[in-house]
Every structure is written in C-alpha cells, then in structure tokens.
Amino acid sequence: MPGTRSWLRPTGLVTGPEARRLVVEGHARPLLGGPQAFTLVERIVWDGGIRPPVRSTLPVVAVDPVELRPFTAAPAAPFDRPRLMGILNVTPDSFSDGGAHADSAAAIAHGLRLVAEGADMIDVGGESTRPGATPVPAEEELRRVVPVVEGLAREGVMVSIDTRKAVVMEAALAAGARLVNDVSGLAFDPAAPAVAARAAARGAWIVLMHMRGTPATMNEAPAYRACALEVADELAARLATALAAGIPRQQVILDPGFCFAKHEPHNVELLRDLALLHRLGCPLLVGLSRKGWASWLESVQPPAARLPGSLVAAHWALERGVRLLRVHEVAATRQAVDAWVTLAGRA
Ligand code: HH2
C-alpha cells in the first residue's frame, strides 16, 4: 500500500546475568549496549491513514541485525548510563515550583543543593511552558536566568538552558551553559538553529523536544491517529532540520515531550512505545516529574505530592533505555536510579 511503513519496538526485556547469557546464546540483543537485553521485537506497520497500525511480535532472531543496530549500539559517554537533570525554574508561575527560587542567590543555592543530591546537570528555565502559560519577554527571561547560569557554571556545574529564544540561548551559553534545551525543538525562533549549531560546534548538547503549537494552546485539543508513530516522525523532522543547520547528530538528545500537546491516552501510548524512538539514534530524555501525565495523577495536589508516580514513571523510562531524566526531586530519584542500576546489572 502506498505510504505504508514499519517501525520496530524492542520488547521482551530481560536484565543482568540472564540478559548476558541470552545475548551470548543468540536469543536476545543488548538494548543500547545493556544492562538490559530484548528477546522480542514488535513490528508496527501503518499507512498513515485512519486504520490503526498493525502490530506483530517476532523473536529477535527473526529480525535482520542491521535493522536493529540503532536499538543495540551503546551510546557514547555521558549517556552510556542514566543521568539526572535537576530542574531549576527561576519563574513566578511554574506548575510545581513557581516562585520558590525567584531571586538569583536562592536559585543558585537550590541548584548547588540538587548537585549535592546527585544531579549530573541543572536545567535553568526562566519561562514556564506549562499548558496555558503566558509568554515572557526576552529581557525578563534574560534577567531571570543569566545570573543563575553564571553562578552555577562558576561552581563547575554542567548547566542546561531551558528556552525557546535564540537571544536567551546565546546569553546563557556565553555565561557557561553547555546544553540547550528547547521545548519547541528549535522551531519557535528562526534564529535558534544557527545559535544551537554554533554552540554544538563548541561541544554543547542540544535537546530537541516534541510539541505541537505553543504552550498557550497546545493542550486544547491534541489529536493523533497513532501518537507514538507521529511523535517519532515529527521528532525525526526536527532532527533533520537540526542536522541541516549543521548540528552533529552526536550532539543531539531527543525528548517526546510528555504533556506537551498530549493528553492521558497520548502520554500512556508514548510510554508504552517509548523504545521505538531509539530508531532515531540519539539519547532520549524524558520529563515526567510531578506531571499529571494520567488524569488521576493530575488530581493529586499539590504537584509536589506526585513523587511516587514520578518515580514509577522514571523507572518505566529507564527500563526502556531512556538515559536522561529531568526531575524535581533529585535525591529520591538518584536513590531509585542507583537501585535500578544495581538490580539491572546484577540480579
Ligand atoms: N517539561 C517542562 C519544561 N521543560 N524540557 C524538556 N526537555 N522536557 C520536558 O518534559 C519539559 C521541559 C515543564 O516542566 P517544569 O519546568 O517543571 O514546569 P514549567 O514549564 O511550568 O516551568
């Protein structure tokens, strides 16, 4: 049928010594170099139309190893193991910590606390992107984030700048940021791809997140026929634009953008099919911390009370090969991740 394509999703996951034995015996392939391995592959065939995708499950030996390469190759450091990105919102209106770190000194102190708790990097944001958020002028965003980026970078912290604006990216990079995290996937500001390409040439990582529309309107009526496949295609398009702008693939991190133009069924479908995104060949980041990705979880108030749900979601993502978790509660997530690393490697 014209336009019919197929996607692969590793499944039938095993860990530890059992995973290593099954790989040696040829019954499994390592997921991104391990510690997990997958014994099965789901093939998803879809023509892009109104009929749902057709899914069939095969033993891993029935699939050409060349087709599986993006799912088996070990990522380069630092994403060869799970990493934590601690969230630092220097905003009055973020959904869970708005106003908590409004002045620079308090924000820097909080960032340093998150590093002491085990964060590998700190994501500094000066504009809330929660559903319905009001956009912030560039001058105000600069005033909020630059001193904080500077203060943390001076202390040797790896800083990520969470912004959609090229001028904010540029100022934060000059102040010492080494990651650019753009929830629009460099689509919001026409000047952003060139700024990100210059930063990548100097070694910065670029996070491309998936969303549709803008935070002000994105969750009014998101509609997908096959959410995970459409997100994969739209992220591939953002990646292609980034590559065309001169950003090397090895410097890109991809994020499906939970709750950005997505309601519960979309978030759940994306969580189920997360591992198919490895086909794009970049490390994956997820931001599920404190989010109401399911409607019952949304009704748990305040958002800071959603730690148990956030930890389970983080664990679910780790199991599927996600190597960068964007989280509010670093100490608790660090403990959960370290516990998972011990069990996944040895049990
Ligand atoms: N989520 C938020 C902000 N930035 N960046 C990436 N890459 N992925 C995410 O899921 C993501 C993100 C929203 O969360 P938060 O920063 O806690 O809230 P707010 O946008 O209200 O400041």
Residue 249 annotated in active site: no
Q: Is the CB of 162 under 6 A from ligand 1?
A: yes
Q: Is the CB of 267 under 6 A from ligand 1?
A: no
Q: Is the CB of 90 under 6 A from ligand 1?
A: no
pLDDT tens string 289-313:
999 999 999 999 999 999 999 999 9
Q: Is the CB of 209 under 6 A from ligand 1?
A: yes
> Among residues of the chain, what percentage have pLDDT more than 70?
99
Q: Is the CB of 183 under 6 A from ligand 1?
A: yes
- Residue among 169, 183, 231, 274 to mutate when testing ligand 1 (max atoms within 8 A of CB): 183
Give the torsion sign (CA, 40, 44, 80, 107): negative
User: Is the CATH number of domain 83-343 3.20.20.20?
Assistant: yes
pLDDT tens string 165-180:
999 999 999 999 999 9
Closest residue to atom 10 of ligand 1, CA basis: 287
Integer Cα distance of 55 and 5 in angstroms:
12
Let me know: does 69 contact 40? Beta carbons within 8 Å. Answer: no
Determine the distance separating the centroid of ligand 1 and the alpha carbon of 124, expressed in angstroms.
Answer: 10
Predicted pLDDT of residue 132: 81
296 contacts: CB under 8 Å, gap ≥ 6: none
Let me know: does 183 contact 209? Beta carbons within 8 Å. Answer: yes
Predicted pLDDT of residue 130: 84
Determine the distance separating the centroid of ligand 1 and the alpha carbon of 33, expressed in angstroms.
Answer: 29
Which residue of the set 212, 291, 306, 323 is catalytic?
Answer: 291
What tens-digit pLDDT sequence spans the chain (347 residues)? 558 999 999 999 999 999 999 999 999 999 999 999 999 999 999 999 999 999 999 999 999 999 999 999 999 999 999 999 999 999 988 887 778 887 899 999 999 999 999 999 999 999 998 888 888 999 999 999 999 999 999 999 999 999 999 999 999 999 999 999 999 999 999 999 999 999 999 999 999 999 998 888 877 878 999 999 999 999 999 999 999 999 999 999 999 999 999 999 999 999 999 999 999 999 999 999 999 999 999 999 999 999 999 999 999 999 999 999 999 999 999 999 999 999 998 88
Residue 291 annotated in active site: yes
Residue intervals in the chain for CATH 3.20.20.20: 83-343
